[in-house]
Structure 1
């Protein structure tokens, strides 16, 4: 059978991930492949580590990507510090808190969780009170929960974790590169980012960072693997069980990303090029400018959605700036609307999971997708599709409201 050459349709991707890849990143991926120990390539590896530190706002030595999707980063970090029986506390306020719980359970942790309604976040004092009550080894929590479009405040929780000598592991997959994430200032011990969201790099890498508190655990486990653990090591490490995963063993990956360059796997060369360029573009734009851009286009989008007559979902005070959730109007088939938007306008927006499936739409304004033309396109397309579905909307108002936001900002810029 003869297969045709790829012919990929052009889409405007307005989901909470993946998002449109910056053309400069795509160009970087087309460069010739280098050997993984070629000095030209190891120089790029070092630069990726340096740029990740800047984006994560950390001085951690160990800041590098895991080859795999964001979930690979979550698993690598948690698998490398969990011993069977460890108490891990996970406050769950959406789909990806449940994912953290599943990963921890698979590595033998005793998971304790609390939950709040989807669309809300936790008062930090509720989390801190529970921490004091149960004294976990690890608190694992999502920073930006894309399933609900909410963002959990972490500064107080991180401070309390450090005071109580609890490790704080944060899933910042949806927030890194799009909103302010202060790894060191918030006392985050281990953090996972994502490439396919605000960094506008294809899915396939998970930037992570961890501090010396986590490094200490990993090095103790390496001693066990090497058979050189002392009695003091065993007392410190309790069960002294080695990590079961080879691919996600951070101890081995630290050797690979260190100047020793001990072989662990064949590095995904073209993805390193992509991540290098994606990080470079973030820093070229500037973190504060980038955070402002995400909030600015969110403002235009939400103004348009509300002017259309639709209702925004969730706690407005803790909204994740790069994800906007919209209540599906009563009696409307949400999937039919999404399908028509894709078929007629080549625009993709997302549904959600679990208790919110069929109840909300999610529009992502992330990274390269976070642009004026995309915001106007999704508002215009959504209005047209809703009219075709017999939904009463305020015709023409959505685009005008968004344009008002853009015009007001243009006037401020000219005045300045």
Structure 2
């Protein structure tokens, strides 16, 4: 067995560890793991803080997410490789990488967890969460499944395209909607309705759909945010519709833009009764497709006869696949999908682990289209 010294790893690392959602976290000194077969050790640089982190790890966990305790949260990050296992053939120490959030069972990929956030619905997913992948990327070091660590061409992204490394943090937001849009087979030239479209992940879907060659109808309640989305592309590529609360009014507004090929729904938890869901379905052309990728925990009402008569396909997607993450990286490296300040994306805050309270507040209060806050456990 290899040793920490062989990999130039310290004996311990620091993680932001939560023992209860009703008490503040501590900066814990934890034993550094070895890069065993299939496990990479990374040094997180920009670890995303979701806007609702304060509803998961503090205030008593009002979202009711299930996770083992104690835990170091944090799933997705832009990182440097610190040490590689013996079965790594491409990764090297020092390499810039994107580490994705979703952990999948290697013997059963249908078992999935959101690392450092949610252990999933089953006994098998709870076991997966509580094992080797318990502690996440809100730390100075982290383990990651070899298949979840995606090399980033630093010469191209930073050297040729001129991105700052912090701007690459948006990969964490872009990967999610790319999974759904790819799953539903969005094609160049098609019209896709994205609703709601004014959150951090939902607005990322607008960027992704444009890069995939689609025309976008962005739907939401925040008219200022919608107007900002309209400016992302040349006239006619992004149209906007305000959610009215009335299904027929929404249908009439959408009809002005002609037949809709794809409806990408990424509704938040509280939107199960929102008018946009039924309106979007009723606005699909015959043979149209709908992708469900939101966070509604309960049931929604669907127009059964309309769906069957018009041959509407409804597909659910949870996060993205490993292959889709690789495809997304290529879109950015080739310059097809533009990110960062040049397309209105903004880093709202960069925080040390000990500044978690300010970090949570910033993530919650400064959320919006293209915005993201990050922990920076290791500064460069």
Higher relative contact order (CA 8 A, sep 6+): 1
Q: Normalized against structure 1, the TM-score is what?
A: 0.29
Q: Which has the larger radius of gyration?
A: 1
Q: Normalized against structure 2, the TM-score is what?
A: 0.31
Give the structure with the higher percent strand. 2
Give the structure with the higher percent helix. 1
